[in-house]
């Protein structure tokens, strides 16, 4: 007896194909990385003094970060599909396996970049546009083409482009481009990036070696890389306290100190482990913890800012007192 072959409805097949395409486009645009860029940009925006008066421009700035960041991600994969094929972490990317053609990826990158420029020109200002273009050029071209294949310190310099969203969000929300607070956040992300990325590079060192990419664990060894991770984690702790000067934020000061010491302790533990599979597993934990660390720092900075002397809680209290005096009078 022949079994019946049940065919899915055509609409269901088309829907599944469309969802698969959307997932591939998100991977191509490095949506996970871009989400972190948008988050740090949003923090820069909400900390700006006149944020509430520039909500539309701030939203446009964040959309510009997302679009331009996505374009940079596509450019990165367009330049190095052969490298992606050599690494377990990246060899299933849509360009590496051919699910998306190079021609379509170029069109996608161009559309994202053009949309970013249009949005930023239409709704923000030239400072916001300039910083966004610098970040996109820094990651998509300077890091990918020149730094990554030529120097083991690529992430130190290349990470600067990905650190600009706080100043982009700040200027989009009407903040002055020379203010200390957003630039202290740019500096924080810059020094955090090497300590964040190198634990992952330790886990993937064999893949990087096979792909002939001169990442620090490949060129200088695991011990030197672990030393540099500790050094940059300590620098991150120090730089994370600079926003206290600009923001007078006691909540953030206490939290940044505690979180920084905890993360530094993790990197010290990694530094003194035996170089085996257990170390690789722990290195991945450090990599994941670094993301939570940055997220917590920026979140607590915002919370502390709005709870502080110049924040909404104090303003709301003053408004209530003023209303009470008027009612009593």
| pLDDT tens digit at each of 329 positions of the chain | 455 555 557 667 677 777 888 898 888 889 999 999 999 999 999 999 999 899 999 999 999 999 999 999 898 888 876 666 667 777 778 877 788 888 999 999 999 999 999 999 999 999 999 999 999 988 888 888 888 889 999 999 888 888 999 999 999 999 999 999 999 999 999 999 999 999 999 998 988 888 888 999 999 999 999 999 999 999 999 999 999 887 777 889 999 999 999 999 999 999 999 988 889 999 999 999 999 999 999 999 998 888 765 554 444 444 334 434 444 44
Dihedral over alpha carbons 28, 34, 36, 42 (to 10 degrees): -160
Residue 174 Cα distances to 43, 134, 178, 309, 327, angstroms? 14, 19, 12, 21, 36
| pLDDT number for residue 170 | 97
Q: Which pTM value belongs to this model?
A: 0.86
Rg, the chain, Cα only: 23
| pLDDT number for residue 110 | 95
Q: How far apart are CA 122 and CA 237, in angstroms?
A: 38
Q: How far apart are CA 189 and CA 294, in angstroms?
A: 8
21-176 to CATH, choices 3.40.50.2300, 3.40.30.10, 1.20.58.1000, 1.10.357.140:
1.10.357.140
Q: List the chain domain ranges.
A: 21-176, 179-322
| pLDDT number for residue 320 | 39
Long-range CB contacts (< 8 A, 24+ apart) of 84-91? Answer: 86/207, 86/210, 86/211, 87/204, 87/207, 87/208, 87/210, 87/211, 88/204, 88/207, 89/204, 89/207
Query: Any idea which residue has 């607590």 for tokens?
Result: 300
Q: How far apart are CA 312 and CA 319, in angstroms?
A: 10
Q: How far apart are CA 206 and CA 226, in angstroms?
A: 16
CA-closest candidate to residue 45, choices 56, 34, 30: 56
With beta carbons less than 8 A apart as the criterion, state whether 290 and 195 touch. Answer: yes
């Amino acid at each position: 007896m022949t079994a019946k072959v049940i065919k899915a409805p055509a609409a269901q097949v088309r829907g599944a194909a469309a969802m698969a395409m959307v997932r591939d486009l998100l991977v191509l645009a490095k949506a996970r990385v871009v989400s972190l860029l948008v988050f740090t940009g949003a923090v820069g925006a909400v900390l700006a003094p006149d944020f509430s008066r520039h909500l539309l421009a701030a939203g446009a700035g964040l959309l510009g970060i997302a679009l331009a960041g996505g374009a940079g991600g596509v450019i990165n994969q367009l330049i190095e599909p052969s490298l992606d094929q050599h690494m377990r972490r990246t060899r299933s990317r849509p360009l590496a396996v051919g699910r998306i053609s190079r021609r379509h990826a170029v069109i996608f990158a161009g559309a994202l970049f053009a949309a970013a420029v249009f949005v930023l020109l239409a709704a923000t200002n030239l400072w916001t546009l300039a910083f966004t273009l610098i970040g996109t050029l820094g990651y998509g071209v300077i890091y990918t083409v020149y730094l990554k294949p030529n120097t083991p310190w690529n992430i130190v310099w290349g990470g600067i482009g990905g650190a600009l969203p706080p100043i982009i969000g700040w200027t989009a929300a009407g903040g002055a481009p020379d203010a200390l607070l957003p630039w202290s956040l740019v500096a924080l992300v810059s020094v955090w990036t090497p300590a964040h990325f190198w634990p992952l590079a330790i886990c993937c060192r064999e893949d990087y070696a096979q792909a002939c990419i001169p990442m620090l664990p490949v060129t200088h060894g695991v011990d030197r890389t672990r030393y540099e991770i500790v050094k940059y984690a300590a620098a991150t702790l120090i730089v994370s306290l600079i926003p206290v000067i600009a923001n007078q934020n006691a909540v953030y000061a206490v939290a940044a100190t505690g979180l920084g010491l905890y993360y530094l302790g993790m990197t010290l533990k990694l530094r003194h482990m035996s170089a085996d599979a257990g170390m690789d597993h722990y290195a991945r934990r450090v990599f994941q913890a670094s993301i939570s660390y940055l997220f917590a720092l920026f979140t607590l900075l915002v919370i502390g800012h709005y709870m502080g002397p110049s924040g909404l809680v104090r303003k709301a209290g003053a408004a209530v007192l003023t209303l009470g005096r008027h009612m009593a009078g």
